[in-house]
Amino acid sequence: MIISNIETIRVGQFPDLLFTQVHTDTGIVGLGETWYAAPTVESAIHDYFGPLLVGRNPSEIERHWQTMFRLSDHAGYGGAELRAISALDVALWDIKGQTLQLPIFEVLGGGMRHRIKVYNTLGVYGNITDGYDVWNDPVGVVHSLLDEGITAMKMSPTDFIARETDGQILFNDDLDFALKPLRSIRDKFGMEIDVANDGHAKWNLPNAMRIVREMEPLRPMWHEELISPLNEVAHARLQSATSTPIAAAERLMTRYQHRRFIESRAAMITMPDLTWTGGISEVKKIGILASAHQMPIAPHDCVGPVNMFACAHIAMSTPNVMIMEYNRALHKGWYNDLIEPNFVVEDGYLLAPNEPGLGTRLKQSVKDRRDAIIRVSDRKEESWLMSRNRYTYPPQAMQDEFTSSTPRRSAGFSSVYYD
C-alpha cells in the first residue's frame, strides 16, 4: 500500500479548523485534524510534508513521525509544522486501524477500559449556552449536567477579571465576584460535582498564588494554566502553594516540553492536546512518561471532533488516563455537521469507538460546501527540507566510493530516516 495523495479541507465557518485526509492506492482514507492558524498548517502539509509522504508506505508511522520532526525541529518544534505532523499522524493511525480492521485502541495495546469519564467544559453553541448561563444560573447549569449523568465540569471564573490589568493586579472585590457562581454550586450541591478551573494563562505568579489559596475551600478538581506554562520553576512555586493539583498543559509541545513539567514537580496532572503536540504517537509516549512519575493524563479537547476520537483511543488503551475533556455545546452542535458517526457520551462517559480505525469519517457534504477550501498534494517530490540535509554530503562520486568500499556499507543498510 502507498500514500497516493494528501488532501486538506477547511471551511470558512470555522477558520481555525483543518482536516487532512491521507488517501492510499487501496482506497483506504485516513482522517486527521488540527486547530489554529489553519492556512499556515495547510502550507506546512503541502509545501513540506506532503511531497515527502506521497508514494511511501502509510504503515511506517513512527518512521514518518521521526522524519518529519527531525526535518523541521531546527526551527524549534512548537509551530505549524508540529500541528501538521499531529494531523498527519492521526490520519496514518486511522489507515493502520482500517487496514487491520481494528479500532486504533486495539492496535495501541487493547482496551484497558471501554468507556472514559468526561467533564463538560462550559461552551456556547446554538441553543446550548453553558458558558454564559453559569454566571446568572450556575445551579441550573449543574442541574442540567447532572440530569445527563455528567458529574464533572470546567469553568473559567477568573478570566473576566484579569482583562482590565492583563492579570497584573487582582482586586479583592473582583475575586469575590468571580467566585460567586462556584460558591453557589458548592452551597447547593456540595461535592456532588467536580469543578476544574482553567485560567487560560492570564495571571502573573503572585496573583495566581492568591487565587489558588482563595479557592482552596471550594475544592476544585484542578487548576489549569493560571499562569502560562513557560517556566516550570514558576509553575512549581504555584503547585507548592496549594494542595489542589495543577494541570499542565495544552500549550506544551511533545514529550520534551512535557518532561520538564512532569519531572520538576511543576504539576500533578498532564494535559496534552493531541492535535497540537504530535498526534496519537506522541500522546501515547507522554502518557507513558507521566505514568513513570505516577501522574495521570487528562487529554485536552475543546476544538474539533476528530481530536475527540483520537483521544478516546488513547483513553481506552492507556492505564493512567484520568478523565477526558468534553464540550456538549460543540458535540451536540456543529460536530454533527462535519463528521459521521458522531461519538457517544452516555451517563457522563464517552464510549469506546468500535469501528475499524478512528471510527469516524468526514461527511462528503463538507467538501461540497461553498465555504470549503481544498488543497491536494499528489506528487512525490524532493522537499527542500530533505535537500537541505544533503548540503553537508560529499560529491556523489565520493559517496559511491565510500559505500562500495566495505561489505557493510554495500550490504544495504538504509538510513532510519528518508534518504
> In the bound complex, what is the minimum distance in angstroms from residue 225's beta carbon to Mg ion?
5
AA identity, residue 352: A
Comparison of 198 and 282: residue with beta carbon closer to Mg ion: 198
Q: Where are the beta strands (DSSP E) in 127-250?
A: 128-129, 152-155, 194-198, 223-224, 246-248
Comparison of 7 and 301: residue with beta carbon closer to Mg ion: 301
Nearest to Mg ion by Cβ — which residue? 198
> In the bound complex, what is the minimum distance in angstroms from residue 311's beta carbon to Mg ion?
14
Comparison of 8 and 197: residue with beta carbon closer to Mg ion: 197
50 Cβ contact list (under 8 Å, min separation 6): 6, 377
Comparison of 33 and 198: residue with beta carbon closer to Mg ion: 198
Q: Where are the beta strands (DSSP E) in 279-371?
A: 324-326, 339-340, 345-346, 349-351, 361-362
> Per CB under 5 A, does 325 bind Mg ion?
no
Interface segment toward Mg ion; rule CB under 5 A; list 169-177, 190-198, 310-318, 411-419 = 190-198
Binding Mg ion (rule: CB under 5 A), the pick from 7, 81, 106, 198 is: 198
Dist. CA 418–CA 154, nearest whole Å: 44
> In the bound complex, what is the minimum distance in angstroms from residue 198's beta carbon to Mg ion?
4
Is it true that the peptide bond before 341 is cis, omega within 30 degrees of 0?
yes
Comparison of 170 and 271: residue with beta carbon closer to Mg ion: 271
Comparison of 11 and 271: residue with beta carbon closer to Mg ion: 271
Interface segment toward Mg ion; rule CB under 5 A; list 44-52, 198-206, 276-284, 305-313 = 198-206
> In the bound complex, what is the minimum distance in angstroms from residue 301's beta carbon to Mg ion?
10
Comparison of 29 and 268: residue with beta carbon closer to Mg ion: 268
Dist. CA 200–CA 302, nearest whole Å: 13
> In the bound complex, what is the minimum distance in angstroms from residue 224's beta carbon to Mg ion?
5
Q: Which grid cell sits at 267?
A: 504539576
Q: Which grid cell sits at 9?
A: 479541507
> In the bound complex, what is the minimum distance in angstroms from residue 221's beta carbon to Mg ion?
13
Interface segment toward Mg ion; rule CB under 5 A; list 7-15, 29-37, 196-204, 252-260 = 196-204
> In the bound complex, what is the minimum distance in angstroms from residue 299's beta carbon to Mg ion?
12
Comparison of 106 and 198: residue with beta carbon closer to Mg ion: 198
DSSP label of 390:
G
Dist. CA 65–CA 217, nearest whole Å: 45
Dist. CA 402–CA 121, nearest whole Å: 59
Q: What is the dihedral of CA 89, 95, 100, 103, to 10 degrees?
A: 70
Dist. CA 34–CA 250, nearest whole Å: 13
Q: Site size for Mg ion, by CB under 5 A?
A: 1
Q: Provide the b/e sequence for 279-299 (b: ≥16 CB within 10 Å).
A: bbbbbbebbebbbeeebbbbb
Residues within the interface to Mg ion (CB under 5 A): 198
